[in-house]
Amino acid sequence: MAEPTTDATTDEASQRETAELVRYSETLAALSRAAGREDLADRLRHTRARLLDPYVRVLVVGEYKQGKSKLINALVGAPACPVDDDVATRVPTVVAYGETPSAALLVRATAGGEVARREVPLDDVAEHITSHPATFDGEEVVGAEVLLPREILKGGLRLVDSPGVGDVESFRALATLSALAGASAMLLVSDASQEYTASELRLMGQALRISPQVSAVLSKTDVYPHWRRIEEIDRGHLSSLGGIPVFAVSSDLRLAAGATNDAGLNDESGFPALVQHLRREVVAPADDLQRRAAALDLASVVDQLAMAVQSEQHALQHPEQTPELIARLESARQQAEDFRSRSSRWQVILTDGIADLIADTEHDLRDRLRRVQRQAEEAIEEGDPSPIWDEFSQWLDERVGEAVADTFIWTNERQQWLTQEVAAQFLEGEHDIPDIDVSDITGVLDPVDEIAGMDAAPLSAAEKIYIGVRGSYGGVLMVGLATSVLGMAVLNPLSLLAGVLVGRRAYREDKQARLSRRQSEAKNLVRRYIDEVAFQVGKQLRDRLRVVQRATRDHFGARADEIHRSLTAAADAARQAASVYTKDRDVRLEQLRQHAQALTELRKALPAVTSAAGTGERPSIARRA
């Protein structure tokens, strides 16, 4: 069912602003190439690509069988994701806009190998993403993409159906937090059968540390009459986390409303409020940020191109001031040269900060894993671990997964702070930093082998009798020999009674010894598993922080190179202007005047494109292509 077009005017205005920015980027790219600045033209090419292909990823998460897939189907009004009582989504599925319905699987032949795209019929997607394991022609399926011609998706909205958090494999993949690392927002889906569980509240808290755009969806309100009471309790739980919006919806009512085109039933489903929230609070701000970042990129390029034009123009108009002008430009160029060197302050801050961050994150990871190990050992000491080893292993997996996720999220927060510190030291007004997400924990535990199993087979009756007889033999023999002095047989009531007592004690001692051995074995298995996790995850943490260091260094190094080239070009233009003959000066001045006027008009037009661009502030985080 089509949603009310109350925001149509706003959408049209946004599209016009985006089109103007695209046109400006093309004009500036041509001017940059004409000035011999291919570096600026390449930067504008990336800016234009981001404007032409905007997307806003919204991750739909929740525990097993909470109605995530049906929620997406109800939002888009089509069976995009498989829904069945006996199947579950095994891999993330992206639902996006396409002119015609189509589908593709993302596969890889080997673990850690290159991901390839395989086009498949739309009806075959469910078979490959719900099988266990998810495969296609012998290759591992790591994701799926469904394209549909739906109005709600046309503005760049991409809905991601994630595997259930409560699924038996959810820890091994850690899919939820991994996907959230690159998402613009998250919808936590929980049905109205009960209030939030501890794991759901923990997931919500972790998600808020990665993405500020988190919303809660209470599903299946048509199935549970007491859903209003559950909604009230859930809002109470979420009050401690901040103002998280909660939407109570019924996917079945929404789908029925779409089939019958019943507006009243659609309103009753609760979806209009959710759709409006996605458009106004998720898609619109993301589009505004995209346009703002693009406008600031264009303004930066205009300023750098204008520098050379203004320098040459000033030198032609005031030749007596040319030496002073060149001296100022050379001084600024030397400053930019200093920023390019390895000994510059921002380089030192980056190098030292990464070294400190690596040490801190390794300590944080080991500290969290040590706490998990202590909890595991305390649980083992409470009884025999072998009968419940499978449940214990799953609990240990979950606790280790939580510890690893917390460390990666904390590391991501620290690296963002470090990158902003580098930006603050780089150049005045330079706060555009590379968006590098360390909290993505996809596959970090893949190299870790599963915790080994334990033999939980109980003693048979024959084994118990054997242990008792073996222990009672000594008691029977000792008492029998002692009583034989009194003329009694070796086997007499007293010796048999002593044998029973000694055998019973021997059985208890053997039972305690076997329990101690199993507990010791379980503790050793836990220690080896924790050590393996610390070794493998620690290596990936160090590698990712090195990636942060290189990406940050390259980003700000490229900015320093741009500024250095702009200042060099301005100084060269001023020197060339000093040697221009008088008869050519007027012609060149007219050319420069026209060029400067074009740049000035373009620069003045940029703030009018987006109100945010006129503030002169840069966004703290700008996504780079």
Domains and CATH numbers, the chain: 56-269 (3.40.50.300), 295-453+524-591 (no CATH), 462-518 (no CATH)
Q: What per-residue confidence (pLDDT) applies to 370?
A: 92
β-pair type (93-97, 157-161): antiparallel
Confidence of residue 36 (pLDDT cuts 50, 70, 90): confident
3-state secondary structure of 134: coil
- HSE of 472, CA atoms in CB hemisphere, 13 A: 17
Q: 75-79, 145-149, 489-493, 562-566 — which is least confidently predicted?
A: 489-493
338, two tokens = 């200093």
The pLDDT confidence band at residue 620, using thresholds 50, 70 and 90, is very low
| Tens digits of residue pLDDT in 373-397 | 999 998 888 888 888 888 888 888 8
Cα separation, 433 vs 15, in Å, equals 26
Q: Are 353 and 552 in contact (CB under 8 A)?
A: no
pLDDT at position 549 over 70: yes
Q: How many CB atoms lie within 10 A of CB 500?
A: 15
Q: How far is CA 535 from the centre of its chain?
A: 22
- From residue 407, alpha-carbon distances to 177, 356, 404, 438, 520 in Å are 12, 15, 5, 10, 29
User: In sequence order, what DSSP letters do the residues of 209-266 get, joined into one string?
Assistant: HH-S-EEEEEE-TTT-TTHHHHHHHHHHHHGGG----EEE--HHHHHHHHHHT-HHHH
Q: Please give the sequence-ordered ranges of beta strands (E in DSSP) within 98-164, or none if there are none.
A: 102-108, 116-120, 135-136, 139-148, 157-161
* SS3 (DSSP) at 26: helix
Determine if the peptide bond prior to 285 is cis (ω within 30°): no
pLDDT band at 127 (very low <50, low <70, confident <90, very high): confident
Count, residues in the chain: 625
Condensed to tens digits (0 to 9), the pLDDT of residues 212-265 reads 788 999 999 999 989 999 999 988 888 887 778 999 999 999 999 988 888 899
Hey, which bits of 273-408 come out as E strands? none
Written as six digits, the tokens of 540 are 């990936």
Which of 177, 161, 200 lies closest to 69 in space, CA to CA? 161
Better-predicted residue by pLDDT, 365 or 570: 365
Number of Cβ within a 10 Å radius of residue 451: 22
DSSP state of 82: -
N- to C-terminal Cα separation, the chain: 35
Residue 441 pLDDT level (bands cut at 50, 70, 90): very low
Model pLDDT, residue 172: 38
Q: Residues of 234-254 as b/e, b for ≥16 C-beta within 10 angstroms?
A: beebbeeeeebeebbbbbbbb
Pick the residue with more confidence: 336 or 411? 411
Mean pLDDT of 460-475: 57
Specify whether the CB–CB gap between 72 and 161 falls below 8 A.
yes
Residue indicated by tokens 């075959």: 124
* pLDDT range class, residue 180, cuts 50, 70, 90: low
What are residue 186's DSSP bridge partners? 59, 214
Structure token digits, residue 565? 């080239």
The pLDDT of residue 174 is above 60: no
Reported as type and span, the H/E element at residue 326 is: helix 322-340
What crossing angle do the helices spanning 493-578 and 284-317 adopt, rounded to 10°? 30
